[in-house]
Amino acid sequence: MAGRIITVAQQKGGSGKTTLAANLAVELRGRGHSIALVDTDPQGSLGRWFMERLGCVGEDEGLEFSTSSAWGASYESEKLKRRFDFVIIDTPPKIDSDLRPALRVADLVVVPVATSHVDLWATEGVLDLARREKAEALIVLNRTRSNTRLGAEVAQSAAELGAAVAEAQLANRVAYAESLGQGRGAGESARNASARAEIAALVDEVLAAFR
């Protein structure tokens, strides 16, 4: 059976795409799935994370990394899904025709949205393009602060955009930034139990989307 392709996309920079892609990969790998990462962002943050991981964890035949141009994303991911259970594509922070190949091949488009109305506005372009490519999208609220009015407003407005909104939310935790710089997932440290629970809950929803 061919693998599934997850494209992580958001028009606004700093939304947490790479953090989300890396943590999805680590959690899925921890559950026994093989993962291929494809970085189409010229900034190369996911590649830097992967190299840091090689240094601290070592090579893992079940976790592979490659880069691709935006237009080459469809070819690269289609090739990789024959060998891996999941292909996760990290995309640059822009919405134009270059993003279409990564959306076209996606079984699921994961869209991180930080808790601000500006981030939410930027999401509309991503969702519109995903609809044109007939790709299912899942909005993930990121860097949330519990019991704030703004967070509640953004969550409500996200639900009104017509895409599914994950029940699992990623809180505004130092653990996410720290672990990314160390080549790890936030949940790989015993002291980050809350982050581990958030990522696990999100991956449960991602897997449910494929059933």
Which domains are delineated in the chain?
4-209 (3.40.50.300)
The position carrying tokens 């899925």 is: 28
Token readout for 110 is 């994961």
CA dist list (Å): 36 to 57, 179, 198 = 17, 20, 22
Q: Is the pTM of the predicted complex or chain greater than 0.85? A: yes
DSSP class of residue 132 equals: H
CA dihedral 76, 15, 31, 159 (to 10 degrees): -110
The residue ranges of the chain whose pLDDT is under 50 are none
Q: How far apart are CA 176 and CA 163, in angstroms?
A: 25
pLDDT of res. 151: 67
CB atoms within 10 A of CB 55: 10
Instruction: Report which residue type is found at 181.
Output: G
* pLDDT per residue as tens digits for the range 67-125: 998 888 999 999 999 999 999 999 988 767 778 899 999 999 999 988 777 777 878 88
